[in-house]
Amino acid sequence: MRVETAQAHYDVVIVGGGLVGASFACMLADQLAATPVKILVTEAIESLQASSSFDARTTALSYGSQQLYARLGLWEALAAYATPIHKIHVSDRGHFGAARIDQAEVGVEALGYVAENQHLGVVLTQALQDVEAIDYLCPAKITQMLPTPEGMQVQLQGRTGAAQSISAGLVVLADGGKSSLSASAGIRQQVTEYEQSAIIANVAFSDEHRNIAYERFTDSGPLAVLPLRELQGESRGALIWTVSQDDAKAMMELQDAQFLEALQARFGHRLGMFTKIGARACYPLRLTVANEQVRPGLVLLGNVAHSLHPVAGQGLNLALRDADVLAHTLLRAYTQGQQFGQMSVLQNYLAAQSDDQLLTTRFSHYTTRLFSNKHPALVWARKFGLFSIDLVPLFKRSFARQAMGLVTPKKHSA
């Protein structure tokens, strides 16, 4: 529920009420519904009311993420603003070979969904306000964290600007990749610069997308066109185009018609002719992984823990799996009378998620490296790889499970 001031103590304080922080709060409240555990979520920025527009920014949700939201009872509200992906088509421009995955082959209604961020945010924010076990304080900024034997002492500044000190058994940082709190705590990041930028925009095209998500690897960098729901009679898709940093500035300065011409040349005509492009945004790309994801009384979730290349759409989905495993770990700790912030509990969480994090990070990183390299040997490796995925059932199932976010949890001891 929404509150104006925080209580003096919470079992868990979640810093950041965005997609990851809000989702984790809902998961934790669901897992601990039969307990008196109290959760505080702080968010520095007031949420905006969602509105439909051509330029609505989107997020790719895997099948596994959709199942998580369905379990929480939130998917019905999200479904109206989410476009199902029935097929994934992966190709390498200028080379034969392609990988195709069909939802019918793996026996699901959709391989994933493309959800509009604003509507996802509105549904999650409403859930924070509806759950009695959650106190939602917004706007509020955490200014300091100090370790204590029982967890953390947190200083926060609320709507009125007045400072307040509260104690927490566990603090979960979910405040984004540029977390000042993580930096002030001395948590370092391992950074791999890709020397690339992602150009993000929505595009319209003459043909129907038929709920196909396209991943296309080109001489200028990998690009994806994800299906979006039709708006005002226009077939739309979400474009994520990775280009070198040297090319990014020039491409952002192109007129719309010139940009669409360049896109058409790289993508081809699987969607007919590109007819329109909305507002473009450009972001430098890097892989960042925190050297420490847990400390006594502290856990990092989302981009502050690991920020991946967007080419495979794995970042948020991995964060949601992290959040789900952390919620289960804290439930187990509660039933065994353990403190949420004790290091053995948090190490159990990391042990359970380490394989998933490593596999997903490597999948994203090496896919980018493989398809951004023009070395002849790697070109042949790509050809073989795409044909193998498409023709060998075992490879296809493995690739499909990774794309769908279906990861078998690692067994671990409490």
The pLDDT of residue 370 is: 55
Map residue 103 onto helix, strand or coil: helix
CB 299 within 8 A of CB 326: yes
What is the 8-class DSSP label of residue 161? Answer: -
Task: Pick the closest to residue 171 from 13, 34, 49 (CA basis).
Answer: 13
d(CA 310, CA 287): 10
The pLDDT of residue 220 is: 72
CA distances from 272 to 80, 206, 235, 268, 269 (A): 26, 5, 11, 8, 5
Query: What domains, with CATH codes, occur in the chain?
Result: 9-190+286-403 (3.50.50.60)
d(CA 233, CA 133): 43
**How many Cα atoms are found within 13 Å in the side-chain-facing hemisphere of 184?**
10
What is the 8-class DSSP label of residue 2? Answer: B
d(CA 124, CA 397): 32
Identity (one letter) of the amino acid at 76?
A: E
The pLDDT of residue 371 is: 52
The pLDDT of residue 114 is: 95
**pLDDT, tens digit (0-9, with 9 covering 90-100), for 75-100:** 999 998 899 999 988 877 555 456 77
H or E element in which residue 24 lies: helix 19-31
**Residue 319 burial (C-beta neighbours within 10 Å; 0-12, 13-18, 19+):** buried
The pLDDT of residue 276 is: 97
Cα dihedral sign, 29-32-33-38: negative
pTM of the entire structure?
0.89
The pLDDT of residue 308 is: 85
Task: Pick the closest to residue 402 from 349, 366, 352 (CA basis).
Answer: 366
Map residue 138 onto helix, strand or coil: coil
Cα dihedral sign, 398-20-342-34: negative
d(CA 132, CA 129): 8
Q: Tell me the two tokens of residue 18.
A: 């965005």
DSSP 315-362: HHHHHHHHHHHHHHHHHHHHHTT--TT-HHHHHHHHHHHHHHHHHHHH
Mean pLDDT by 10 residues, the chain (414 residues): 94 96 98 96 81 83 94 95 91 62 86 92 94 95 95 91 93 94 95 90 97 85 90 94 91 97 94 97 91 98 90 83 98 97 98 92 68 48 44 47 56 44
Cα dihedral sign, 181-182-188-192: negative
d(CA 124, CA 138): 14
The pLDDT of residue 377 is: 44
